[in-house]
């Protein structure tokens, strides 16, 4: 059993590192060959490979870390207080972001593509008049953008609570004990992803990545599985011991599946989901690759990152606000940088450096210091200091 008051610094590090990886991922999208809000005139097919591989593990890992965080959070509060805390931390910034942070992104998108002309004030009502389309102008541009993660995580947390409750009862703990003993066997940790494999084989061909939760059943149930695994693993250290013990094997397998993805990329294999045998095999490769990457990352992080320092103490609380604001800043800066007549790699570096600096400054001097804004970004507010009365002389 993992004590609920224990601090898992390795998971804190992974949350920070993964969100920084998401930042680099989105910065790369200006230069890849498919859709993004703002595109550089010159794109790179290599960037498409980088983006594809990065996309396999980043958000799934965040869902798994969130499941682990739920274990520790429920150790400090009851279910009602936990749901309230999740609402304030996820739904409040989600709504704020939809109203304030996403409209500028889609506005610059539509301006750059010639789908809209006029001021942002003229555009703003248009944002709410219909759903955003990747292929052209629509009656409206309502869009969750990267904030889909907050919505999904909140709803998955609500779905997970009735599943988690029986696990905490006596029969549930006996089942977890059996699973932990089974996991101590060589290679058993790799079988934990079988439910997600089955889910994808059945539902992926009939699911659509809507980013509105509805219709996205294969992805929703897959990350729900990861969320639950993150919670379950915190119930018994034998799970984490198995992950760490298999880290070298996981790394070796991650190199093999990466080679498979490079083959898919080079040969241009059709990856559209269907019930044909080649596509079903690809679906298994997709889910298994995600799991192998996650196990590799978790294994080496537990081995080498279970410590804290001043950077983690600062970056940990900043990670959620950083995630919430990063796309808006990237698109605002990228809108201008991609128009400059300089080398594409120089543009990429400028977008990364300028955006990162801007986000840190926004966090340090605005978000972090104003309680109302802290609340809107899902952070705990700072209690007001009460002045001690001066003694009467």
**Residue 44: what pLDDT?**
87
CB 224 within 8 A of CB 303: no
Distances (CA, A) of 10 to 17, 263, 303, 316, 318: 10, 33, 8, 11, 16
**Residue 386: what pLDDT?**
54
**Residue 277: what pLDDT?**
86
- Number of neighbouring beta carbons within 10 Å of residue 325: 22
Distance CA 272, CA 291 (A): 21
Angle of the 45-55 helix axis to the 58-74 helix axis, nearest 10: 20
pTM of the model: 0.94
- Number of neighbouring beta carbons within 10 Å of residue 243: 24
Distance spanning both ends of the chain, measured CA to CA: 58
CB 188 within 8 A of CB 242: yes
Distance CA 164, CA 167 (A): 5
The number of angstroms, rounded, from the C-alpha of 180 to the middle of its chain's C-alpha atoms is: 27
List pLDDT tens digits, range 120-173: 999 999 999 999 998 888 889 999 999 999 999 999 999 999 999 999 999 999
The number of angstroms, rounded, from the C-alpha of 391 to the middle of its chain's C-alpha atoms is: 53
CB 225 within 8 A of CB 294: no
Q: Which sign, positive or negative, has the C-alpha torsion 355, 14, 299, 52?
A: negative
Distance CA 63, CA 296 (A): 16
**Cα 270–Cα 274–Cα 276 angle in degrees, nearest 5:** 85
**Residue 134: what pLDDT?**
86
Which residues of the chain fall short of a pLDDT of 70? 1-6, 385-393
Rounded to a whole number of angstroms, the CA Rg of the chain reads 22
């Amino acid at each position: 059993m993992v004590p609920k008051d224990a601090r898992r610094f390795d998971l804190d590090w992974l949350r920070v590192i993964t969100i920084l990886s998401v930042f680099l991922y989105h910065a790369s999208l200006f230069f890849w060959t498919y859709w993004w809000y703002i595109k550089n005139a010159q794109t790179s097919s290599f960037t498409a490979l980088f983006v594809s591989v990065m996309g396999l593990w980043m958000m799934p890992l965040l869902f798994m870390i969130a499941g682990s965080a739920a274990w520790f959070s429920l150790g400090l509060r009851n279910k009602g207080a936990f749901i309230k805390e999740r609402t304030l931390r996820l739904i409040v910034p989600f709504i704020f972001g939809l109203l304030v942070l996403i409209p500028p992104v889609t506005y610059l998108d539509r301006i750059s593509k010639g789908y809209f002309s006029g001021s942002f004030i003229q555009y703003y009502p248009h944002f709410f008049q219909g759903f955003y389309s990747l292929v052209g102008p629509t009656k409206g541009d309502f869009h969750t953008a990267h904030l889909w993660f907050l919505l999904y995580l909140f709803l998955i947390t609500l779905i997970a609570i009735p599943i988690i409750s029986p696990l905490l009862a006596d029969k549930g703990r006996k089942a977890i004990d059996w699973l932990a003993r089974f996991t101590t066997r060589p290679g058993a940790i790799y079988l934990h992803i079988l439910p997600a494999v089955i889910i994808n084989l059945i539902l992926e061909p009939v699911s659509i990545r809507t980013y509105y939760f509805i219709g996205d059943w294969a992805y929703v149930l897959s990350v729900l599985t990861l969320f639950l695994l993150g919670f379950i693993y915190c119930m018994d250290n034998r799970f984490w011991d198995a992950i760490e013990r298999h880290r070298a094997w996981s790394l070796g397998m991650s190199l093999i599946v990466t080679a498979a993805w490079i083959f898919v990329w080079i040969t241009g294999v059709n990856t559209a989901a269907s019930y044909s045998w080649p596509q079903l095999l690809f679906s298994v490769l997709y889910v298994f690759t995600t799991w192998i990457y996650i196990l590799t990352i978790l294994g080496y992080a537990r081995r080498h990152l279970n410590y804290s320092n001043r950077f983690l103490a600062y970056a940990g609380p900043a990670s959620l606000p950083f995630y919430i604001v990063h796309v808006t800043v990237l698109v605002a800066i990228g809108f201008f940088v991609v128009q400059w007549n300089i080398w594409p790699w120089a543009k990429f570096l400028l977008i990364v450096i300028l955006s990162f600096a801007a986000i840190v400054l926004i966090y340090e001097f605005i978000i972090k210091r104003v309680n109302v804004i802290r609340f809107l970004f899902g952070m705990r507010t700072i209690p007001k200091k009460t002045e001690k009365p001066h003694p009467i002389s």
